[in-house]
Structure 1
Amino acid sequence: MKLLFDFLPIAIFFGVYKYTGDIIIATAVLIPATLVQMIFTWVRTHKIEKMQLVTLVLVIVLGGLTVLFQDKTFIQWKPTIVNWLFALAFLGSHYIGAKPIVQRMMESSIELPEPVWGRLSWAWIGFFVTMGALNLFVAFTMSEETWVNFKLFGMLGLTLVFIIAQGVYLSRHLSHNENSTNE
């Protein structure tokens, strides 16, 4: 559910683009939509995740530049910058701190062997790098409309597929851990 809520501003961006056919207007609506999403999250949970904050800042800065200069290139770079910053953060967590970010985020919910946490972290790094590169490929080799469609459906779809694949991978290790703890 959280993943779908996180994609809400993108869905609004998509709807406005489809209605107006104007990426600048869609971007101008994206900025307050993302801000409202963050305010709603804060009111509901009294916290904002660092990744959400980074996304908000990039939407404001790159979206603002898009509107100010009437140049879609800025907003088209945003998904790549976000994904590559996430990849960098996940990579950095292997060298800063005792555990990779993915382990810190998920270890209260599941118990996994250390090598599995490492492989999971590297999978996320690869996913973020690939998504950033794929965004650039679509943005700069295909039509604007194709990129807008990819931004909502392609990125969401690929993220869901990756999360499902991650779940399948983890399920092999979870059932092993549960069996060993019940014996």
Structure 2
Amino acid sequence: MKILIDFFPILLFFGSYKLYDIYVGTGVLMAATVLQMALIYVIDRKLTVMHKITLALVLVFGALTLGLHDDRFIKWKPTVLYAAMAIGLALAVWVWKKNFLKLMLGSQMELPDSVWMRLNVVWVAYSAFMSLINAYVAAYYSTEAWVNFKLWGYAFPLIFIVGQGFYISRYLKVDEPKAPNQP
């Protein structure tokens, strides 16, 4: 269910773009993202900082796209989001000596500090890569090519998350099974 909620806005954006145009797609994306965040809030009773930033960027860049009738704004939104993530994670760990990944996920899984540090560095590199590749496609390709890239480009995060899962799995502690007569 959660994965469906995560992909809901991009799938609706893609469908409405293909049926109509980038401006209808942008309006649908904005509405779908608001609905997505409302659903996440109902389920989790909170929105993470990343959720709030994503919502704000979709609404601001979407409004600029619609208000100025210029598709460049919505095409550059992912570049800004990923660049902000890369810069934020890098500043946090190397300037403020805080590992935001550990702060956000440390209560859900226990990993050695060195693994948290490597994960943070990998997230900085991944976010910078995604920012740069989106910027390249947005700047040098048509809107049609960019929309197709956005849809099929979801392979990058899926591969990244699966690879990250394999990496951290060897560091996760496994609960020992209890003997049948133990409480």
TM-score computed with the length of structure 2 as normaliser: 0.87
For residue 109 of structure 1, report the CA deviation from its aligned partner.
Answer: 2.7
For residue 178 of structure 1, report the CA deviation from its aligned partner.
Answer: 5.1
| Correspondence for 1:159 among 157, 160, 166 | 157
**Residue 72 (structure 1) aligns with:** 71
CA distance in 2, matches of 1:2, 1:107: 20
CA distance in 2, matches of 1:150, 1:3: 20
In the alignment, structure 1 residue 44 sits paired with structure 2 residue 43:
yes
For residue 153 of structure 1, report the CA deviation from its aligned partner.
Answer: 2.1
Please provide the CA RMSD for this pair. Answer: 1.8
In the alignment, structure 1 residue 16 sits paired with structure 2 residue 16:
yes
Q: Show structure 1 runs of 5+ residues with no match.
A: none
For residue 57 of structure 1, report the CA deviation from its aligned partner.
Answer: 0.8
Q: Show structure 2 runs of 5+ residues with no match.
A: 176-183
Residues 49-75 of structure 1: CA deviation (Å, up to 9, x unaligned): 111111111111110010111100000
Q: Are residues 44 and 113 of structure 1, via their aligned partners in 2, closer, same or farther at CA, if it must alter by over 3 Å?
A: closer
For residue 142 of structure 1, report the CA deviation from its aligned partner.
Answer: 1.9
SS where residue 46 of structure 2 aligns? coil
* Higher helix fraction (1 or 2): 1
For residue 105 of structure 1, report the CA deviation from its aligned partner.
Answer: 2.2
CA distance in 2, matches of 1:110, 1:72: 41
Q: Are residues 144 and 51 of structure 1, via their aligned partners in 2, closer, same or farther at CA, if it must alter by over 3 Å?
A: same
SS where residue 93 of structure 1 aligns? helix
Structure 1 ranges of 4+ moved more than 6 A = none
Name the amino acid aligned to 2:100. Answer: I
SS where residue 7 of structure 1 aligns? helix
CA distance in 2, matches of 1:37, 1:51: 13
**Residue 107 (structure 1) aligns with:** 106
Name the amino acid aligned to 1:90. Answer: L
